Amino acid sequence: AQKVTQTQTSISVVEKTTVTMDCVYETRDSSYFLFWYKQTASGEIVFLIRQDSYKKENATVGHYSLNFQKPKSSIGLIITATQIEDSAVYFCAMRDTEGADRLTFGKGTQLIIQP
Amino acid sequence: DPKIIQKPKYLVAVTGSEKILICEQYLGHNAMYWYRQSAKKPLEFMFSYSYQKLMDNQTASSRFQPQSSKKNHLDLQITALKPDDSATYFCASSQAQTGVQDTQYFGPGTRLLVL
């Protein structure tokens, strides 16, 4: 069965610095897809970035990038030049062929950006 | 304009009653999903539909019934409501094709409180 684990419950950093959020996953499939979403204070869930398991290059979108370490089943999210607006709860999620279309989510990491 | 509409935004119901949660997407997607987020658990997958057909059901209770009257609609009927059903219900959609995984985008959610 698929499993996604985010061990960091909460992280607090100063604005304009870089933060990394950890995520490890479990799957028996050789092909799978990893996603990061953020949930804002209003409750909105926003897609940020994805990594397909067969791609060797780490994905980058804007000031979000991923640290994909396949041998360790790890997909870290890196946010550079953080802004106050980045304060949110960040969820890691996975889809694999065993799970059909469903996303399996981690419990989330609350990110607090301080001025 | 919002691309995924969920109605109502908030819903208060009494135990034993029945409610329908509405979801419409205007992204041109052919796959739609329901997820639940409660205080006790992370985001949990409930159902997936593709081309108006049920593809996956991870909800143990038959009290939860998805209904797809149109390609871009996936409503969720909940009968015999219980206090434990209190949660935020998110609808999502994606452009899914056989063998191709794609990113799911989420609606704003319906927050249900059962008294």
A71 near B CB under 8 A: no
- The CA-based diameter of chain B, rounded to the nearest angstrom, is 43
B50 near A CB under 8 A: yes
Q: What does the pLDDT read at residue B40?
A: 74
pLDDT above 70 covers a percentage of chain B that reads 95
In angstroms, the CA B34 to CA B13 distance is 19
In angstroms, the CA B78 to CA B65 distance is 6
pLDDT above 70 covers a percentage of chain A that reads 99
To the nearest whole Å, the CA of B28 is away from the closest chain A CA by 17
Q: Looking at chain B from residue 68 to 87, which residues have their Cβ under 8 Å from any Cβ of chain A?
A: none
To the nearest whole Å, the CA of A101 is away from the closest chain B CA by 7
Residue A27's alpha-carbon distances to A5, A53, A97, A107, B89, in angstroms, are: 12, 11, 10, 17, 26
A34 near B CB under 8 A: no
Q: What does the pLDDT read at residue A2?
A: 86
pLDDT at B96 over 90: no
Burial B80-109 (b: 16+ CB within 10 A, else e): ebeeebbbbbbbbbbebeeeebbbbbbbbb
Q: Inter-chain contact B31–A47, Cβ cutoff 8 Å? A: no
pLDDT at A105 over 80: yes
Among A33, A44, A50, select the one facing B108 at the smallest CB separation. Answer: A44
Residues A48 and A103: beta-carbon distance below 8 Å: no
B90 near A CB under 8 A: yes
Among A45, A50, A106, select the one facing B103 at the smallest CB separation. Answer: A50
Please confirm whether the linkage preceding A71 is cis (ω < 30° from 0): no
Q: Inter-chain contact B43–A103, Cβ cutoff 8 Å? A: yes
Q: What does the pLDDT read at residue B59?
A: 87
Least confident residue range of A1-15, A63-77, B47-61, B70-84: B47-61
Contacts of A47 in chain B (CB under 8 A): 103-106
Q: What does the pLDDT read at residue A97?
A: 75
- Render A36-90 in DSSP notation, one character per residue: EEEE-TT--EEEEEEEETT--SPPEETTEEEEEEGGGTEEEEEE-S--GGG-EEE
pLDDT at A19 over 90: yes
In angstroms, the CA A85 to CA B23 distance is 28
Residue A86: which residues within 8 A CB-CB, separation 6 or more?
Answer: A38, A79, A111, A113
Q: What does the pLDDT read at residue A85?
A: 96
Neighbours of A28 (CB within 10 A): 10
CA triple A14-A17-A19, angle to 5 deg:
95
Q: What does the pLDDT read at residue B60?
A: 79
pLDDT at A99 over 70: no
To the nearest whole Å, the CA of A3 is away from the closest chain B CA by 12
Q: Can you say whether residue A81 is alpha, beta or left, with left for phi > 0 and alpha for psi between -120 and 50 degrees?
A: left
